[in-house]
């Protein structure tokens, strides 16, 4: 579904007209990993948190009775996480009623990524949350946490940038063995486009083509690494001003070190109990099932 402003009959304003969007909006295969794309849904596309309501609750916490609300630290941590995970999109003023416009707003960045899952795809060691967030901030993007899972990262960076960060992590800190990567897999497609695997065969084919006299005058295709470097060029520029460096320029200065991780740690940030913690050790069915059961008369 899509919502488009349409003028009313009186010509004094506009209203939202809802219609079916033209599809498909994506290719049959993922442009990054080459696997098949699947249709899923439906899903709610609006914001799941009210920033005003959360702020009102946070304002009431200092005056709340701690003896009544025993889980106050956890309550405040969850509210802070929900408040901070909001990534506002560009403001678009529509000629409609402000209340209708607020109801029609979409969450442009509803999903999150987990560094361990990304590392599992490309078979490398897992970078820390601060490293990934610091790299995205260095490239000019915004990051936040998600209330769903610890270690999750929400960002407005495109997938081309996220996978570039992971491949650059492999180059600098976590080298892999090409023999461990299966061909025709998602990891092989991502790493070969980045120029990490499959380069020896590509160089051999290039030399053979150059030595063949029958190929003279025929334009040769660029290697996969060169293609990968030019793919993010369409969305590489982060700033509108000419003085703001582009993403391609910022990539050249990205180094995975403590200074990069420090970008993700806000100065003076207070620690909160952001996620549910077990009240005591080994609480839960998985641990409880391993304990022997002793029956007494």
| Domain boundaries, given as residue ranges, for the chain | 111-197+247-271
Contact at 8 Å (CB) between 146 and 155? no
Pairwise CA distance, residues 241 & 188, whole Å: 37
SS3 for the chain is CEEEEEECCCCCCEEEEEECCCCCCCCCECCCCCCECCCCCCCCCCCCCCHHHHHHHHHHHHHCCCCCCCCHHHHHHHHHHHHHCCCCCCCCCCCCCHHHHHHCCCCCCCCCECHHHHHHHHCCCCCCHHHHHHHHHHCCCCEECCCCCCCCEEECCCHHHHHHHHHHHHHHCCCCCHHHCCCCCHHHHHHHHCCCCCHHHHHHHHHHHHHCHHHCCCCCCCCHHHHHHHHHHHHCCCCCCCCCCCHHHHHCCCCCCHHHHHHCCCCCCCCCCCCCCCCCCCCCHHHHCCCCCCCCC
Pairwise CA distance, residues 144 & 9, whole Å: 43
Whole-number pLDDT of residue 172: 96
CATH topology of domain 111-197+247-271: Phenylalanyl-tRNA Synthetase; Chain B, domain 1 (3.30.56)
Evaluate the CA torsion angle 125, 127, 129, 133 in order and state its sign: negative
Q: For each successive 10 residues of the chain (297 residues), what is the average pLDDT?
A: 79 80 83 90 87 94 87 89 88 75 83 95 94 95 91 94 97 93 93 88 51 41 37 42 83 94 75 74 58 50
Whole-number pLDDT of residue 263: 87
Contact at 8 Å (CB) between 129 and 115? yes
Whole-number pLDDT of residue 128: 94
Pairwise CA distance, residues 46 & 89, whole Å: 12
């Amino acid at each position: 579904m899509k919502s488009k402003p349409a003028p009313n009959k009186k010509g004094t304003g506009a209203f939202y007209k809802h219609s079916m969007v033209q599809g498909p909006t994506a290719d049959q295969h993922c442009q990054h990993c080459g696997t098949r794309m699947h249709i899923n849904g439906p899903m709610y596309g609006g914001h799941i948190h009210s920033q005003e309501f959360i702020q009102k609750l946070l304002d009431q916490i200092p005056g709340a009775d701690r003896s009544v609300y025993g889980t106050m630290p956890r309550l405040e941590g969850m509210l802070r996480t929900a408040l901070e995970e909001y990534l506002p999109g560009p403001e678009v003023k529509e000629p409609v009623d402000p209340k209708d416009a607020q109801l029609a707003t979409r969450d442009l960045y509803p999903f999150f990524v987990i560094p361990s899952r990304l590392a599992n795809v490309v078979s490398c060691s897992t970078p820390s949350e601060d490293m990934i967030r610091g790299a995205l901030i260095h490239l000019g993007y915004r990051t936040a946490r998600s209330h769903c899972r610890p270690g999750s990262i929400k960002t407005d960076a495109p997938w081309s940038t996220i996978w570039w960060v992971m491949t650059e992590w492999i180059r600098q800190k976590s080298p892999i063995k090409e023999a461990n990567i299966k061909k025709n897999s998602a990891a092989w497609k991502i790493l070969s486009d980045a120029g990490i695997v499959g380069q020896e065969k590509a160089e051999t084919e290039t030399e053979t083509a150059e030595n063949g006299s029958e190929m003279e005058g025929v334009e040769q295709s660029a290697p996969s690494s060169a293609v990968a470097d030019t793919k993010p060029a369409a969305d590489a520029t982060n700033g509108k001003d000419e003085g703001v460096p582009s993403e391609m320029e910022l990539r050249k200065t990205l180094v995975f070190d403590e200074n990069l991780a420090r970008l993700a740690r806000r100065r003076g940030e207070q620690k909160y109990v952001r996620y549910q913690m077990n009240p005591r050790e080994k609480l839960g069915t998985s641990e409880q099932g391993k304990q022997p059961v002793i029956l007494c008369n």
